[in-house]
Amino acid sequence: MDPLTAVSLAANIVQFVEFSCKLVTSSGDFLQSTTGRLPEHDEVNLIAESLKSLHEKTVCLSTVSLDLGRLNKHEKRLLPLREACLKVADELIDILEGLRVSGSQKRWKSVRAALLSTLKEKRVRELESRLLKLQAQIDSRVIEDIRKQQSEILQLLRKQTRLGGTSLQVTRNLSSLVDTVQSTFDGLRSRLDLVDVADRVNQAHTKALEQSILISLDYDLRISRRQAIKPAYPDTFRWIFEDQNASGEPITFVKWLQNKSGVYWITGKPGSGKSTLMKCIWSQYDTQQGLKKWSQGETVITAWFFFWNSGTAMQKSLEGLLRSMLIQILDQCPELIPEAFSLRWEALLATRSYATTQPLWSLQELLDSFRTITKQASMKAKFCFFIDGLDEYEGTDKELVEIIDSFNSSENLKFCLSSRPHASFRKAYGDDPRTVLHVPKLTDGDIRLYVRISLDENTAFQDMKKRYPDRCKQLVEGIVNDANGVFLWVHLVVSRLLDGIEINKDRMGDLERKFRCIPKELDDLFCHIMESVDHDYHELQANMFRVACDAEEPLDLMAYYFMDSEDTDSALKMPVEPLAFDVVREKQETMAVRVSVRSKGLLEVFEDPMSHHFRSLKVQLLHRTFRDFILDKHMQDFIRRRSAPNLNPLRSICLALLAELKTYLFHHHDPVRTCHQLRLLDSLLHYALEMELTEGASPNDVLAEARSILPELPRLPRGDHRHLYEEWLLFKDLVGDSESKSTSSDPFVEFATCRGLAHFPLSCMEQSKPTGARLDEILWASVQRRKISDHEPVLNPDVVKMLLDMGADPGPGWNSFLSSDWWALGGADVEKALFYVTKLFLEYNVHVSDPSMIRAKIVGFSRGDIEEIDWLIQTHSSRPKAAFQRLPFKWKRWASNLTRW
């Protein structure tokens, strides 16, 4: 019984005893209605129902986690009280049921008189005596016992508070409630105080359950894209809240904001500033004021999402969009959580636990929950959603349009969207000029302001302006005219000119010649900038571009620092030696200069405030437009030829992550951020898997070094100070029950297997020879789709074959595979993996209890794959089996082991 349940049970016992004592001892009227006395039979009915309710609550709370072996002495003292209450309740309910029948024909001065009318006075006094004894026990024991559990209760609630981070409103509310719980505990003196304590604890418990749902929706780097977008330059984009801009171009955004529902589409060519404008809209007070007029006094719920093609899988997927929107909506309206996630909520209530590791979110569940919430529009609130970068979504434009249209079904719900002018978006959103805004048509004034102020802030240019005012003005106007509304082009051009002034001490004529030579198209400008780098840095520049292209998310600046080492394998040789903050900062500053000099701004360093200081500075490709340019096949061939001959970007990333792991320093006072160590390990395994899948080879030496250093890493700030190596044992749902592990169990190797790696685990398991039971558990976990970070899980048929070849029993793994979330996913890669894994299990003669279920699952496979699986199913029972195959599986495994070892 957890301490929260114990408090609730104790409070319920108090309420029951107090109610029953009043019932038995009261000489006057027990209950009155608001308008006068209740008729006697109504009073008896009400008392009987109240007593039944208290009885049911006591029974319900008594059955929650009632494992006698795990109860402490304080909780065990509640059990006799509970039993005594239940006995008294049964007796009183029976008596009151009898009074219900006769109550309409008799009148009593009190309920006690009614009891005396059917029972002897001795029986009534005996009930009274038992209840008074229960009161005495509560006074003498229960209150003190609950006070002794105060620290455990507060510790449990405060631990949950720390998990949420400060960005969630529900966490701040929970923190406030926990403070209230503590002050209520401090005032615990009487039985009635205990009821108040339980009420406060239950409020905090409910808030903690809400928070646990939101935490499970959250993911790494959820808000980093919005933070990475540079804020609008001072005094730019202010026209969005006007009826027209300085040139007289009409602007309809405010009218839509204040009066209309539906979709408002912001569009423009690449690099025109759409994301900057969307960030400006989202963060401005004017937006909230406009929505307030639209809502006409109703609550307005807002949420945003910025798709990012250069980011993690979650940052460019529908799952990422839905989880981000849901967490924002429900943080503002937590009362919608039980309705949006009814099954999860009921499961949490049933266990009275916070279940920080909840079942994986399926896309269908997220879609259903979002639809449930949007249906609340007009009933409970109005909703306005801001979604940037529709063209950066990983799926098709048409698919995203259809999804948004399926939600946009209420006059009390609206979407502000931005994208490039792709055909699907023009068709869906471009017909009504009142709800479309073309950014490049409106930014000439902003570009002129940006260019003028950026140049004017340079003292050398100020001197030129005094000497050559007309030439300086022509230079500014030339930039504005050639920009064609593309802010990115302007930013790069101005940066080039300022570099010339500050570094090369360019004269006015030099600036004019340089500007005339600058290409007017972005792709040509990118080539121009790359070629302008000193020849000595061409190889280093290409190395960084190749790494940035292969990385699935912006890597830490420290990772680039370690990759920049002259000894490419230095990470394998360095000791485990955490770096102090000032040393890290010095190395970051050094590498930031190198990135700037070698890339000339095409790679940019930005800060992620949600990360630990060691990982707060990250490196990304300048813009989606540059990413599209550098990923072009011709450019990939070009930078591959220019880069170091032996460069393997994926291996370089793995080595850099290993170096980060060895030098990472966490703060003991900040336990939430220590999970960055585990994330580093998970990222290392992920990129090792990418290397294995794309190149057919795994960085075994890097993984072996990571495996060997885990016991040496600094201890985590937990109460028992377990080593990080032992943290792998916490993944019991991934690698089986830790109690069944043999002493030779290797959590790192097992976890690597579950993450989809085959080459490295095979080499390790051939030496360690895991037991058959461990192989069964690893196979069971390897075919589950378990997601513990932003990196997508991988179903690798090579892992399944490896484990089956080593003697794993296919039965448990087959059942796990059939019930996994893999079958709910789409995509050609997943479908092919499902086919090969299904084929493997059938070829290993797994027992097929329901062929029709298998056929139903593979209905989406290609015709050839369906026919092959169907043939394996049909011939499964009729295929002749060798004597070896007919042996019981444990004997087959034993015989197999003889041949292996």
Q: For 225-278, how does the pLDDT look when each residue is reduced to its tens digit (9 = 90+)?
A: 887 788 888 889 999 999 988 778 889 999 999 988 899 999 999 999 999 999
Q: Of the given ranges (164-173, 365-374, 427-436, 836-845), which has the lowest mean pLDDT? A: 164-173
Q: Which residues contact 451 (CB under 8 A, 6 or more apart)?
A: 476, 479, 480, 490, 494
Length of the chain in terms of residues written: 901
Q: How far apart are CA 861 and CA 767, in angstroms?
A: 38
State the sign of the Cα–Cα–Cα–Cα dihedral 715, 718, 719, 720.
negative
Parse the chain into domains and list their residue ranges: 3-148, 152-217, 224-441, 444-518
169 token code pair: 């409103």
Average pLDDT for 881-900: 42
Q: Say if residue 572 is exposed, middle or buried (CB neighbours under 10 Å; 0-12, 13-18, 19+).
A: middle
Query: What b-and-e string marks burial along 371-387, b requiring 16 or more CB atoms within 10 Å of the CB?
Result: eebbebbeebbbbbbbb
First to last CA, the chain: 48
Residue 356: phi and psi, rounded to 5, are -65, -25
Which position has the higher pLDDT, 438 or 860? 438
Per-residue confidence band for 137, with pLDDT thresholds at 50, 70 and 90: low
- 267 — alpha (psi -120 to 50), left (phi > 0) or beta? beta
- Mean pLDDT is highest, among 10-14, 123-127, 527-531, for 527-531
State residue 408's pLDDT score.
Answer: 82
Residue type, 161: T
Q: How far apart are CA 665 and CA 675, in angstroms?
A: 12
Q: In 3-state terms, what secondary structure has residue 436? A: strand
Instruction: Give residue for tokens 């899980």.
Output: 793
| 205 touches 253 (CB < 8 A) | no
State residue 723's pLDDT score.
Answer: 40
Is the pLDDT assigned to residue 170 strictly greater than 50?
yes
State residue 5's pLDDT score.
Answer: 67
Residue 607 bridge partners (DSSP): 617
Q: How far apart are CA 842 and CA 839, in angstroms?
A: 5
Instruction: Give residue for tokens 């060895």.
Output: 662
Hey, how many other C-beta atoms are within 10 angstroms of the C-beta on 825?
18
Which position has the higher pLDDT, 308 or 183? 308
161 token code pair: 């508070």
* DSSP character at residue 556: E
State residue 733's pLDDT score.
Answer: 40
> Tens of pLDDT along 572-599?
999 999 898 899 999 999 999 999 999 9
State residue 233's pLDDT score.
Answer: 86
Alpha carbon 543 to its chain centroid, in Å, reads: 32
Q: In 3-state terms, what secondary structure has residue 797? A: helix
State residue 612's pLDDT score.
Answer: 63
Per-residue confidence band for 41, with pLDDT thresholds at 50, 70 and 90: very low
519 token code pair: 């290409």
Average pLDDT for 731-751: 58
Which long-range contacts link 706-715 to residues 24+ away (Cβ below 8 Å)?
A: 706/658, 706/661, 706/681, 706/748, 707/746, 707/748, 707/749, 707/764, 709/576, 709/661, 709/662, 710/748, 712/576, 713/576, 713/661, 713/677, 714/578, 714/665, 714/666
Q: How large a percentage of the chain has pLDDT more than 70?
A: 70
- Mean pLDDT is highest, among 37-51, 71-85, 231-245, for 231-245
Q: How far apart are CA 888 and CA 810, in angstroms?
A: 13
Hey, how many other C-beta atoms are within 10 angstroms of the C-beta on 192?
12
State the sign of the Cα–Cα–Cα–Cα dihedral 746, 748, 754, 758.
negative
| 37 touches 46 (CB < 8 A) | no
State residue 402's pLDDT score.
Answer: 94
Q: Which residues contact 556 (CB under 8 A, 6 or more apart)?
A: 614, 615, 617, 618, 619, 660
| 117 touches 107 (CB < 8 A) | no
> Tens of pLDDT along 105-133?
455 545 556 555 555 566 667 766 776 77
Average pLDDT for 338-361: 74
Hey, how many other C-beta atoms are within 10 angstroms of the C-beta on 16?
26
Is the pLDDT assigned to residue 65 strictly greater than 90?
no
Q: In 3-state terms, what secondary structure has residue 37? A: strand
Q: How many angstroms separate the Cα of 251 from the Cα of each of 242, 436, 531, 644?
A: 7, 9, 41, 51
Give the residue ranges of DSSP H helices in 165-190.
169-186
Residue 437: phi and psi, rounded to 5, are -130, 120
Q: How many angstroms separate the Cα of 263 from the Cα of each of 32, 253, 407, 433, 486?
A: 56, 11, 11, 12, 24
Average pLDDT for 537-553: 96
* DSSP character at residue 38: P
Q: Which residues contact 901 (CB under 8 A, 6 or more apart)?
A: 769
Which position has the higher pLDDT, 222 or 517? 517
The mean pLDDT value of the chain amounts to 80
Is the pLDDT assigned to residue 884 strictly greater than 50?
no
Q: How far apart are CA 127 and CA 84, in angstroms?
A: 11
Is the pLDDT assigned to residue 55 strictly greater than 80?
no
Is the pLDDT assigned to residue 472 strictly greater than 80?
yes
Hey, how many other C-beta atoms are within 10 angstroms of the C-beta on 325?
23
Is the pLDDT assigned to residue 653 strictly greater than 60?
yes
Is the pLDDT assigned to residue 79 strictly greater than 90?
no
Average pLDDT for 775-791: 84
State residue 795's pLDDT score.
Answer: 93
Q: How many angstroms separate the Cα of 190 from the Cα of each of 8, 145, 146, 410?
A: 15, 13, 12, 52
**CA-closest candidate to residue 344, choices 356, 332, 333:** 356
| 421 touches 270 (CB < 8 A) | no
Average pLDDT for 832-851: 91
Q: Of the given ranges (419-428, 439-448, 880-889), which has the lowest mean pLDDT? A: 880-889
Q: How many angstroms separate the Cα of 609 from the Cα of each of 187, 328, 593, 618, 732?
A: 40, 19, 21, 11, 32
Q: How many angstroms separate the Cα of 429 from the Cα of each of 171, 389, 541?
A: 38, 14, 41
State residue 142's pLDDT score.
Answer: 61
State the sign of the Cα–Cα–Cα–Cα dihedral 591, 596, 602, 607.
positive
Query: What b-and-e string marks burial along 458-483, b requiring 16 or more CB atoms within 10 Å of the CB?
Result: eeebeebbeebeeebeebbeebbeeb
Q: How far apart are CA 144 and CA 712, in angstroms?
A: 45
Q: Of the given ranges (69-73, 84-88, 171-175, 240-244), which has the lowest mean pLDDT? A: 69-73
Per-residue confidence band for 550, with pLDDT thresholds at 50, 70 and 90: very high
**CA-closest candidate to residue 488, choices 594, 633, 627, 593:** 627
Per-residue confidence band for 61, with pLDDT thresholds at 50, 70 and 90: very low
Is the pLDDT assigned to residue 709 strictly greater than 70?
yes
- Mean pLDDT is highest, among 185-194, 624-633, 818-827, for 624-633
Average pLDDT for 451-467: 92
Q: How far apart are CA 452 and CA 475, in angstroms?
A: 10
Q: How many angstroms separate the Cα of 230 from the Cα of each of 235, 268, 272, 280?
A: 14, 18, 13, 10
Which position has the higher pLDDT, 793 or 5? 793
Q: Which residues contact 410 (CB under 8 A, 6 or more apart)?
A: 261, 374, 375, 377, 378
| 717 touches 671 (CB < 8 A) | yes
522 token code pair: 């972005």
Gyration radius of the chain's alpha carbons: 34
State residue 4's pLDDT score.
Answer: 61
Q: Of the given ranges (645-654, 663-672, 816-825, 858-867), which has the lowest mean pLDDT? A: 663-672
Q: How far apart are CA 253 and CA 265, in angstroms?
A: 9
State residue 114's pLDDT score.
Answer: 58
Is the pLDDT assigned to residue 287 strictly greater than 50?
yes
Residue type, 286: D
Q: Say if residue 505 is exposed, middle or buried (CB neighbours under 10 Å; 0-12, 13-18, 19+).
A: exposed
State residue 900's pLDDT score.
Answer: 41
Q: How far apart are CA 486 and CA 497, in angstroms?
A: 17
State residue 385's pLDDT score.
Answer: 96
Is the pLDDT assigned to residue 571 strictly greater than 70?
yes
Q: Of the given ranges (146-150, 451-455, 702-706, 819-823), which has the lowest mean pLDDT? A: 146-150
State residue 876's pLDDT score.
Answer: 67
Q: In 3-state terms, what secondary structure has residue 306? A: strand
**CA-closest candidate to residue 146, choices 57, 207, 217, 75:** 75
Look up the CATH number of domain 224-441.
3.40.50
Q: Of the given ranges (226-230, 464-468, 560-564, 634-638), which has the lowest mean pLDDT? A: 226-230
